Amino acid sequence: MGIPIAGQLEKILPNVHRLCAANPGPMTGPGTNTYIYGNSELAVFDPGPALAEHVSNILAAQDTLSAPITHIFASHTHQDHSPAVAELVEHLPDAKVLGIPAAPGQQFEDHSFKPQIVPHDDQVFELDAGLVRAIYTPGHVSNHLCFFLEEHRFLTTGDHLMNGSTVVIIPPKGSMKDYIESLRKLQNYPIEVMGPGHGDVINNPAEVVEWTIQHRLVREAKVVAALETHAGLTIQNLVPKVYDDVDEALHGIAAMSLHAHLIKLQIEQRADETETGWRLLTTV
């Protein structure tokens, strides 16, 4: 396909189009990808940030594709994925909004996202252009969904998988244990193509999912190895040991992922935190 180009409606499969928002950055890659699916009625996946131009581009797709938008899905409620929903709904009062709202009081979440339908795991929606299955995929955040367009075996991944950048897991909303389990869960579906929230289309989903799981487990093994030789390390002291292959400028973000790894080890009763730092628990 190629790297998404902001503002261009690009056809990626029959009945599936991609429209990239103009919000490029270190965490968003070329920008947030909005996917538009359908023939005589359109479903929009991840309308993106509250950028007026992007909202008008989404609305204009109705003219280009000669069909009205009837459904709006959001993968999660980060500021680069769902805020455009509220603006779209002002223009599309009859459209149905689907997704999981942010928990009350959570910082940095989009609280303007108010879905009429909160899909349960594996719920299938019959749309004009085909079946859409909601797959609950906590990990990046706890209210994350992927959507599987069964007709094309196409999965919109939101931020569960990206192309070109690493998914950040920030506790407590993010969970490394959930993230790895949600990746394994995807292996149960016959996915052929993935449309990530950021970056180009993924044409080898099985390999990418397996690679991502292994990549996280390799990092986890580095955490364990570091604690084996230096018990009682704080996160600040662990980061340069565990992320010695990562640019120091990214060590602040790495510290958050490291915390997520440590919490996973704690839940699995393989490590715990003492007053002086983290240590491994001896296994029998």
Q: How far is the CB of 76 from Zn ion (least distance, A)?
A: 8
Among 44, 51, 80, 182, the residue binding Zn ion under the rule CB under 5 A is: 80
CA-CA distances (angstroms) from residue 211 to 75, 84, 183, 215? 22, 32, 10, 6
Is residue 200 within the footprint of Zn ion (CB under 5 A)? no
Segment lying near Zn ion (by CB under 5 A), choices 8-16, 76-84, 172-180, 207-215:
76-84
Distance of CA 14 to the CA centre of its chain: 24
CB of 24 to Zn ion, least distance (A): 12
How many residues bind Zn ion (CB under 5 A)? The answer is 3
- Shortest distance, CB of residue 6 to Zn ion, whole angstroms? 15
Q: Quick one: 109 or 220, whose CB is closer to Zn ion? A: 109
Contact pattern from residue 41 through residue 70 relative to Zn ion, giving x for each residue in contact according to CB under 5 A and a dash for the rest: ------------------------------
CB of 113 to Zn ion, least distance (A): 14
**Contact call for residue 110 and Zn ion (CB under 5 A):** no
**Distance (Å, whole) CA 85 – CA 112:** 8
Smallest gap from residue 198 Cβ to Zn ion (A)? 6
Taking the least distance from each CB to Zn ion, the nearer of 80 and 87 is: 80
Q: Cβ closer to Zn ion: 110 or 159?
A: 159
Among 46, 159, 200, 220, binds Zn ion (CB under 5 A): 159
Confirm or reject binding of residue 197 to Zn ion (CB under 5 A). Answer: yes
Window contacting Zn ion (CB under 5 A); options: 55-63, 67-75, 153-161, 249-257: 153-161
Residues that bind Zn ion (CB under 5 A): 80, 159, 197
